[in-house]
Structure 1
Amino acid sequence: MLQKPKILVIKIGSNVLTKDGGHPDRERMDALVTQIATLKSEGIKVLLVSSGAVAFGRGEITLSEKTDPILKKQIWASNGQIELINTYKGLFKKHDITISQILVTKEDFRDRKHYLNMRNCLLGLISQGIVPVINENDTVAITELMFTDNDELASLTAAMVNADSMVLLTNVDGIFDGNPSLPESKLIHLIGNKLPDLGEVISPVKSSFGRGGMLTKTSMAKKAAELGIQVWIANGKKENILLDIFNQKAPSTYFEPNPRKHSPKKWLAHGDQYFKGEVVINEGASIALTSNKISSLLPVGIISVKGDFSKGDIIRITDEKGAKIGLGKAEYPSPLVQEKIGQKNQKPFIHYDYLYLFQNG
């Protein structure tokens, strides 16, 4: 059932913000900003995750084809981010809306203290009516620490600020059961929270400028929906798209949300790429954690510890056969948990409130 958003994360992809030749589409940006202003006038708090820095930079700076691809991207992003944010600033100013710029890397989501600091900043901004414009800091991000794309960043941001809604704007109407360019492919209007994996039917087509494809979008949208966030994937090139989504007039794919999760579990749900260490647990601990009874992970159930981590870091939990059980926040640093392996009568290594299980969340 569609709910009116209170906190809404909107992600605008590179292909929405660029014309066919790769030049920035300022008219499209203007139209989307006007729609965001209308949503804000209705009392909706908006956070904007926007691609486009690399595309803006590409239009400004010509680089040799021999230039290292990562360096190319860093140069274009470094230059293009200025023009991107200045364009947004001018467009929002016409509606008397103030914006701020937030540039992040994956590392910002790994440490709980850093994560909460960023969360407090974002919540503070939207409480003052300011629209944060968020993008990956491509200038400093290295390959292994890059987001899959801004769909992942949007999903992380939505979980972080406890948003109830997220819109992913791309250059197609939503998720199709085949290649969107083929006439026989049909738009999937609703993805319910009980539906099986859709990897078999989703077209793996990627956009020309963005890093991600529809499989990434679906994966991130499903993860957000599992955490209780309603999600739409829609075509940002269509006129009035944002307003039409909320008036239920737009062709789109809607992901039905599950009941909302406790906030720390939202942080952990995205932690499978950010964990700092790993513990292997015995069969008894595995049964306890995956039962319906509320259980924390105690040192007595731990067999071995991998990695160098501090208290507060994200830890992955696996069983003796290597199956992934879940993620949790470490209550001890790695040297101390090494000392306590197998010991009884110790305080939990991972408390239930900071435990996210892959099986049932």
Structure 2
Amino acid sequence: MLQTFVIKIGSNVITQNTGIPDFDRIASLCHQVATLKSQGKKIVLVTSGAVAFGRQNIALPEKTNPVLKKQIWAANGQIALIHTYKEIFAGLGHSIAQILVTKEDFRDRKHYLNMKNCMEGLLSQGIIPVINENDTVAITELMFTDNDELAGLSAAMVNADTLILLTNVDGIYDGPPEQEGSAIIQKVDESNQDLGNYIQAGKSSFGRGGMLTKLNMAKKSANLGIKVFIANGKKANILQHIVEGKALCTYFEPATIKHSPKKWLAHGEQYFKGELKINNGAKNALFSKKISSLLPVGVVDVSGDFEKGDIVRLIDEGGIPIGLGRAAYGSKSLKEKIGLKYQKPIVHYDYLYLYQ
């Protein structure tokens, strides 16, 4: 079975310190991707850089609205960014396809599956999907935290084996990277997942996210059964070194592989349309080793307005979130069934994702 890699390339990887696009680095990464494809791997690229490319091309007045400024730079820069990838990959004998998305594209299960089918169709034909956020139409509430989140969603969507997050540092350190004595945390598993205290809040010069968002996305993806690497995309042959186990980077050990619907739900924390408060008996049943669905008899309260097929969040009697599920019927119908026995599940086990 062919392995599928999702590789996220950050803005700081493909731009110089001044913000000028680093075409040599982009070419190097494309050559590395071509090598992986020659080894039989399927590749999905999630790339940042459109705004940085646009900023290079168009000078805007300082007083321009920040959102509008970003939209203009993204609209212009995306052309140059995708053209760069197209020309380099064409020279290496590979075709690419551009996919621009917003969070809205991941909310609806039917829409999600249509996008998934398109991606899998491209991969089956040896075409490299190049994905980026559609910054020209995304507004604040529909924006991804950064492209690390988009990469995690994409890896779950295509059932990827491996997710590689390329940044401009070697991985997660046990202290400030610039501080003498700080060392790379080379492996993260269940015994040492709480690394938040090591990471300083901050954002990259030309991107929107920081190491904390990379950590959270890496942990979530690893929990779904995906191998995750955070590595330095500016290092020579970094992708091949990761594959060969020679790279100095941070590796997240994967848990048991989750089924595809659960992978979709795992990233639904910001998409849910309502909440179901469940009693302790239902909570214990869901977290037991026995496979259990959520029945209306275990629901004590319903909030929000949702329809059949929408994502709902589950909370316990103390109000603590415990998971996400796909509603088998709408809020109006459920309110009539709260506490009743002998009803069909409101959330079937196959469409239930519980937090650790």
The reply to whether TM is greater than 0.5 is yes
Secondary structure at 2:17's aligned position in 1? coil
Give yes or no for contact 1:179–1:205 (8 Å, CA) kept in 2.
no
Residue 49 in structure 1 maps to residue 51 in structure 2: no
Pairs within 5 Å for 1:1-361: 6-359=3-356
Give yes or no for contact 1:193–1:257 (8 Å, CA) kept in 2.
no
Secondary structure at 2:269's aligned position in 1? helix
How many angstroms apart in 2 are the aligned matches of 1:208 and 1:181?
A: 16
How many angstroms apart in 2 are the aligned matches of 1:249 and 1:348?
A: 48
Alpha-carbon shift at residue 25 of structure 1 (Å): 0.8
**1:200 is matched by which residue type in structure 2?**
N
Stretch deviating more after TM superposition (175-184 or 350-359): 175-184
Root mean square deviation of aligned Cα: 1.3
Secondary structure at 2:335's aligned position in 1? helix
The C-alpha deviation readout for 1:175-195, integer Å capped at 9, x for no partner, is: 111111222211111112332
**2:27 is matched by which residue type in structure 1?**
D
Give yes or no for contact 2:102–2:138 (8 Å, CA) kept in 1.
yes
Stretch deviating more after TM superposition (80-89 or 241-250): 241-250
How many angstroms apart in 1 are the aligned matches of 2:205 and 2:29?
A: 21
Measured at CA, do residues 196 and 32 of structure 1 come closer, stay the same or move farther in structure 2, by a change above 3 Å?
A: closer
How many angstroms apart in 2 are the aligned matches of 1:56 and 1:133?
A: 16
Unaligned runs of 5+ in 1: none
Alpha-carbon shift at residue 5 of structure 1 (Å): 7.3
Alpha-carbon shift at residue 292 of structure 1 (Å): 2.2
How many angstroms apart in 2 are the aligned matches of 1:208 and 1:250?
A: 25
Stretch deviating more after TM superposition (94-103 or 297-306): 297-306
How many angstroms apart in 2 are the aligned matches of 1:126 and 1:193?
A: 32
Unaligned runs of 5+ in 2: none
**2:120 is matched by which residue type in structure 1?**
L
Q: TM-score, normalised by structure 1?
A: 0.96
How many angstroms apart in 1 are the aligned matches of 2:54 and 2:2?
A: 34
The C-alpha deviation readout for 1:292-335, integer Å capped at 9, x for no partner, is: 22111111221222222221111101122101111000110222
How many angstroms apart in 2 are the aligned matches of 1:178 and 1:5?
A: 38
Measured at CA, do residues 225 and 252 of structure 1 come closer, stay the same or move farther in structure 2, by a change above 3 Å?
A: same
Give yes or no for contact 2:2–2:40 (8 Å, CA) kept in 1.
no
Aligned residues: 356
Give yes or no for contact 2:312–2:326 (8 Å, CA) kept in 1.
yes
Secondary structure at 1:49's aligned position in 2? strand
**1:173 is matched by which residue type in structure 2?**
D
Give yes or no for contact 2:193–2:219 (8 Å, CA) kept in 1.
no
How many angstroms apart in 2 are the aligned matches of 1:264 and 1:132?
A: 22
Stretch deviating more after TM superposition (129-138 or 268-277): 268-277
Give yes or no for contact 1:193–1:226 (8 Å, CA) kept in 2.
no
How many angstroms apart in 2 are the aligned matches of 1:132 and 1:295?
A: 37
Secondary structure at 2:339's aligned position in 1? coil
Deviating runs (4+, > 6 A) in structure 1? none
